[in-house]
Structure 1
Amino acid sequence: MNKKSTFKTALKTFAVTSSLAMASLSFASTLTVSSPQDPGSWDPIDTFLVNWAAVATNMYDGLTYRGPDLKLQPGLATSWEQLDEGKRIRFTLREGVTFHNGEAFNSASVKFTFDRLMGDEGRKGPQRSNYAAIDTVEVIDDYTIDFHLKAADPVLLTKLAGYGAMIVPPKYIQENGEDFFNTHPMGTGPFKFSSYEPKVGIKLEAFSQHWGGAPKLTNLNYRFISEPSTAVAELQSGRVDLVIPPTIPIGMITTIEKDPNLTIATTISPTVYALRFNTRDGITKDERVRKALIYGVDRQAIIDSILGGQAAPIASFQSAISFGEDPTMKPLPYDPSKAMQLLKAAGIQPGTKLQIDIRGNNATFNEVSQAVASYLQVIGLNATIKPYETNVLLNDIIPAGKTGEMFQQSWGGWTLDYDNTAYFMYHTGEKWNPYDSDPELDALLESQRSITDRDKREEILKSIANYTSNRALEMPLYNLNAIFGVSKRVKNFTPVPDSRLRLTDVTVE
């Protein structure tokens, strides 16, 4: 070959290589998501926060998976069968799966995950009681594993799709320690951890070897923006592509819709809002007072005037898509006269003070709480609002029983089963129940967990909803739609009811 031919060949090779490189760059894409809260730890057993799941659903896999259609499907387990009248579940595991560091996934990984969850490490977090039905996990072979249950748990397969049940790498955790794992997570999901700056954000990158196929995005960045107006401004400027619930204030929906580069995507959500009562201290330990406060607030007017119709009233602390919701239950009506009668009967003097504790970063709920305080003033009470940083309220104030008479509780009920809400809100000794202890209610909550007959179990859950309503353990407010602010550059995005976004098919133009 002469020099001229050699030069032409080299030039052609360079052109092809450059073309491929440019093509690769053109398909490289980054999605930037605004999340209102840094969970503080990325360990699956450390949290119940929806904002954790909105990120970590992309880093981890469970044995089962629940997609945007809310139907359960195989995850790291390809199949399962219930044996021994529901007291044993045998899982067949997916072969050829690796964690992001190359560590093999197998039965030993599953056993390690659940031994850890049900052991000393799990006791430190809020997830352990959600899986209390699990007695032991037995390895049958590398890709077959049995869960032996203390009692049948009709919701367990759904629970295995999220939060504490995400499968973690044994060797990685043993070699690096628990504290390191909190800030350097490692799973088998479609995106792998890249970097984390507390209070600022977390960055992920595509894991091309994922068993479900490589994500279409190259990078997935989350920014923790607690101030709603800032998040919306960043969306408008193009520095953020997606704003997830519960950030978008109702009052800013119109602003986003008028922007030609943006859109609003909404869907029904399991998330409900309530003001729960301190049943141990102060005026709210009297049931008559609690009912008076509920009668004294026009929740429908709040939905119409503040929430722009993006919510529905609730009679119990669950949404219409929750298994156990009783459609025959009706919220207590707005009746200020009845409210004042009850307050008088309870010996409450006009001008009596009470405190409402809220999350300070939720602009919409701030408006709602102001409206509640105004309604309570009409019936003769002096309500003050005390905002907290979200993590402080959830981790330091509520669990320690240091709230005022009323405190904000929003709950996703992500299993779409009332048990996942009711047990943690009302059972004696649970983290979110710092004040109340009711043996009759405890017995009801415990009884439904071992019943596999769907109809019988539903009746018990409905009776729990009615029981808690009769005792007025909270002021049920509303079921809020999931509201997403989305750049029109984002394609193939599906708003999901539970905010557990798996973003493998999303692209950014």
Structure 2
Amino acid sequence: MTAPDDSGFTEDDLSGPVIDRRTTVKLLAAAGVTGLAGCTGGDGGSGGDGGSTDSTEDTQSGDSTASSGSMGGRLSAGWFTGSIDVLDPPYISVGQYFQIAANVFNGLVTLKKDLTVRGDLAKDWTVENDGKTIRFNLREGVKFHNGDEFTAEDVKYTINRTISEEAPAASKLGTLKPVDEDGVVVDDDYTVTLNFEQAMAPALIYLTRGPGRAATIVSKTAIEEMGAEEYSIKPVGTGPFKVSEHEVGSKLTLDKNEEYFETDDDGNQLPYLDGIDVRPIPEAATLVNALRSGDIDFANLVPLQNLDRIEESDGVSASVAPGVNWYGLAMNQRRDIFSSREARMGIAKVIDNEKFIETAYFGNALAAKGPINKATNWVYREDKPDDQAYDMEAGKQLIEEAGISGESFSILVTQGDTRAAKAMRQQLNAAGFQVELEQVTSSTYWERYEKGDYDTTISGSVGDPDPDQSLYNFYRLPDEDGVWNWVNFQDQQVHDLLSEQRQALDREERKQILQQLEDRLIEQVPHAYLVHQNDIAALSDSVSNFTHIPFMRDLSQVMLDG
């Protein structure tokens, strides 16, 4: 047994093929994911603030055997979006896109429902060199969807591509040595070694298959043959389902990967389904009606304002997990009207969050004072600074002092998803502004938002259980890792604190830094923080074996009855 490092872990603790629950919980704490500890086991559901239930059986690949439903059949799924534009993992910045991609790809390791880290494409691993080196022994015989064999070279290519092309996911590997300086070493076809500049126990969490992860393995051959643009739409992975057809904005067809390596405890090959037919549905009412009428079996996301319709319907149910997110009014600081802190603070203070939640979400959300969500309970505080608290008189005074009284601007919004924007417009117009909605397609929305071609919009972090994931890319300086800093927020103190909290492996030390960081964000108002939403999916009674891990939509063990 090796001696523990400064983070309290021994190398034996962190080595594979399985990391026990106690050690994994510590890892999650170090990575900031502690809030999931109470919501990934048990019955898979949590009432949360939305007050719904999850009646599905909680099983997960490799953890248990299905006891209901039958094998085969095709799942008809509705995705609450106008289109699914990107499925190339390191370039995905929209949470709903990764919910699809996670069924097409694998990572080196994976996090199971019982909170153990287990191998995914890696069957075993060892931690060496005082925690600075992780050596992975890979599965043999794994095939990509195009028939190519998966090897250690694919791991190196994936990581090098993510970093060299400065993809958004590259920030997860910020402490890895340069790839060409022994950061990633291919020892043989089925052994690969990662070397870090400093010990980083949470690295194993960031190497799991999940949203925003940097080692979701892609196919070098497929990318070179297809080109990056086509691969982005019809990628080739090793996962349980393969993309057979994709008409962006119309339909997405996933078929069973007949050569998938994973089986259940009885030796039955996964996935159980023959395939999944995904239809983008941007209108909330249309999505709910399709589920209630039986046109679809599964909805990846139910807007909170439509939750009551699901709960009142026969034959369908909601599945609720704590939301690992934050949403706010994004104010584009490239626009003169939002360039001063006083102006942004004035706008924040004329917004009544509780009224906004009642109007936009029928009360089914939690008011946000800052960006750190309640599910991340180890760092969350109820007593956050109230700088942005509703105070119409004080807000109007700040607005007047900033010289923006009566100004005109727009809220960029996707078609069919306007309720929250309309509720926001109502409050801002009541404060004396002249606000209009600018409705565009989902594709146009993300193109314009990323380019900074907008005045305001309601957005935020959708599925990032680690505070680093929900803050780092959003608020680092735009030309230094702030790949999602689309509000053009520039604050050196925030930039430095984001770097500092990454290096703090001690949980209490990191907590203090993160809370100081949150205080600064509340004070500087890059967003007027609005709400934290629960993560709600919905399914018909014919669907069984869906495990609801917050934000994820793993369909590899889903079955259809009858």
**Shorter-normalised TM-score: what interval?**
0.7 to 0.9
107-116 vs 143-152, which moves further: 143-152
Give the deviation of 1:83 after TM superposition.
Answer: 3.7
In the TM superposition, residue 33 of structure 1 has moved relative to its aligned partner by 0.8
1:496 to 533, 536, 549: 549
1:250–1:307 contact (8 Å) kept in structure 2? yes
Question: 1:267/1:330 Cα in 2 relative to 1: closer, same or farther (>3 Å)?
Answer: farther
Q: Using a 3 Å threshold, how does the CA distance of structure 1 residues 399 and 335 change in structure 2: closer, same or farther?
A: same
Q: Secondary structure at the match of 1:302?
A: helix
Q: Is 1:159 equivalent to 2:206 in the alignment? A: yes
After superposing the two structures, state which structure 1 stretch, 255-264 or 125-134, moved more. Answer: 125-134
Whichever residue aligns with residue 294 of structure 1, its letter is A
Q: Distance in 1 between matches of 2:334 and 2:140?
A: 52
Q: Whole-Å Cα distance in 2 between the matches of residues 289 and 70 of structure 1? A: 45
Q: Is the alpha carbon distance of 1:436 and 1:151 closer, same or farther for their aligned partners in structure 2, counting shifts above 3 Å? A: farther
CA distance in 1, matches of 2:282, 2:289: 12
Task: Give the secondary-structure state (helix, strand or coil) at the position aligned to 1:28.
Answer: coil
Partner of 1:229: 285
From 538, 542, 546, the counterpart of 1:485: 538
- Show the 5 A alignment for 1:183-332: 183-213=233-263, 214-245=270-301, 248-322=302-376, 324-331=379-386, 332=388
**Among candidates 60, 64, 77, match of residue 33 of structure 1:** 77
Query: What is the CA deviation profile of residues 90-141 of structure 1, one whole-angstrom value per residue up to 9, with x for unaligned ones?
Result: 222233322233322221221121122222xx33x43333433332211122
SS at match of 1:114: helix
Q: Which of residues 422, 429, 437 is equivalent to 1:370?
A: 422
| TM superposition shift of 1:202 | 1.5
Matched, 1:56 2:101: yes
Give CA deviations for 1:4-56 in whole Å, capped at 9, x if unaligned: xxxxxxxxxxxxxxxxxxxxxx8431111111333323222221221221111
Asked if the contact 1:31–1:241 (Cα under 8 Å) also holds between the matched residues in 2, the reply is yes
Give the secondary structure class of the aligned counterpart of 1:377: helix
**Could you say what secondary structure the match of 1:433 adopts?**
coil
Instruction: Work out which of the residue numbers 153, 157, 170 in structure 2 matches 1:128.
Output: 170
- Counterpart of 1:264, as a letter, is A
Structure with more of its chain in helix, by fraction: 1
Match of 2:188?
141
CA shift digits 1:268-302 (9 cap, x unpaired):
11132111222343222221221121211111122
RMSD: 2.4
Aligned pair partner of 1:401 in 445, 448, 452: 452
Q: Deviations over 1:146-198 (max 9, x none)?
A: 11234555653333223442112233333443344233322111122222222
Structure 1 window deviating more from structure 2 (276-285 vs 287-296): it is 276-285
1:111–1:490 CA distance, 2 compared to 1 (3 A): same
Q: Quickly say closer, same or farther: Cα 1:52–1:185, change in 2 above 3 A.
A: same
* Matching residue of 1:360: 415
The 8 Å contact of residues 253 and 277 in structure 2, kept in 1 or not, is answered as yes
Q: Is the 8 A contact 1:263 1:488 kept in 2?
A: yes
What is the CA deviation profile of residues 345-378 of structure 1, one whole-angstrom value per residue up to 9, with x for unaligned ones? 33343x222322233342xxx2222222222233
Amino acid at match of 1:194: S
Structure-2 separation of matches of 1:176 and 1:433:
30
Tell me how far apart the structure 2 counterparts of residues 116 and 333 of structure 1 sit (CA, whole Å): 44
Query: For 1:427-458, what per-residue CA distance to the aligned partner results, in whole angstroms no more than 9, with x for missing partners?
Result: 11223224222222211112222332332222
**1:419 aligned partner, one-letter code:** D
8 Å CA contact 1:153–1:449 kept in 2: the answer is no
Q: Please say which of residues 147-156 and 469-478 is displaced more in the overlay.
A: 147-156
Q: SS of 1:97's equivalent? A: coil
Deviations 1:394-426, CA, capped at 9 Å, x for gaps: 22x22322221x222132242x11111211111
Q: 8 Å contact 2:106–2:238 — kept in the other structure?
A: yes
Change (3 A) 1:449 1:154: farther
Q: 3-state DSSP class of the match of 2:532?
A: strand
Identify the residue that residue 491 of structure 2 maps to in structure 1. 438
CA distance in 2, matches of 1:442, 1:210: 42
* CA–CA distance in structure 2, aligned partners of residues 280 and 306 of structure 1: 28
1:154–1:279 CA distance, 2 compared to 1 (3 A): farther
Give the CA deviation at 1:467: 0.8
1:8 equivalent in structure 2: none
The equivalent of 2:471 in structure 1 is 422
Report the number of matched residues. 471
The Cα offsets for residues 192-245 of structure 1, whole Å up to 9 and x where unpaired, read as 222222211211222243222121211111111222222222222322111112
Matched position secondary structure for 1:306: helix
Q: In 1, distance between residues paired with 2:410 and 2:225?
A: 47
In 1, distance between residues paired with 2:115 and 2:275?
A: 26
Stretch moving more, 298-307 or 176-185: 176-185
Query: How big is the shift at 1:69?
Result: 6.0
**For the residues of structure 2 that align with 1:85 and 1:372, how far apart are their CA atoms?**
52
Which structure 1 segments of 5+ residues have no match? 1-25
2: distance between equivalents of 1:178 and 1:251?
Answer: 38
Amino acid corresponding to residue 162 of structure 2 in structure 1:
L
- Matches of 2:238 and 2:127, distance apart in 1: 25
TM-score, reference length from structure 1: 0.85
Separation in 2, partners of 1:307, 1:491: 28
TM-score norm. by structure 2 comes to: 0.78
Residue type of the alignment partner of 2:313: D
Residues 432/27 of structure 1: CA separation in 2 closer, same or farther (3 Å cut): closer
**CA shift in 2, pair 1:272/1:359, >3 Å:** farther
Please show how residues 68-147 of structure 1 align to structure 2 within 5 Å. 68=113, 72-119=117-164, 122-123=165-166, 125-134=167-176, 135-136=178-179, 137-147=184-194
- From 393, 405, 416, the equivalent of 1:337 is 393
- 1:373-388 to 2 correspondences below 5 Å: 373-388=425-440
Counterparts of 1:304 and 1:72, CA distance in 2? 40
CA distance in 2, matches of 1:465, 1:319: 11
**Aligned residue type for 1:92:** N
Cα 1:193–1:283 shift into 2, 3 Å: closer
Amino acid at match of 1:55: I
In the aligned structure 1, how far is the partner of 2:416 from the partner of 2:128?
A: 47
Counterpart AA for 1:58? N
- TM-superposed CA distance for 1:327, in Å, is 4.0
- Name the CA distance, whole Å, in 2 between partners of 1:111 and 1:217: 32
SS for the counterpart of 2:539 is strand
SS in 2 for 1:344: helix
Structure 1 residues 389 and 318 mapped into 2: Cα distance closer, same or farther (>3 Å)? farther
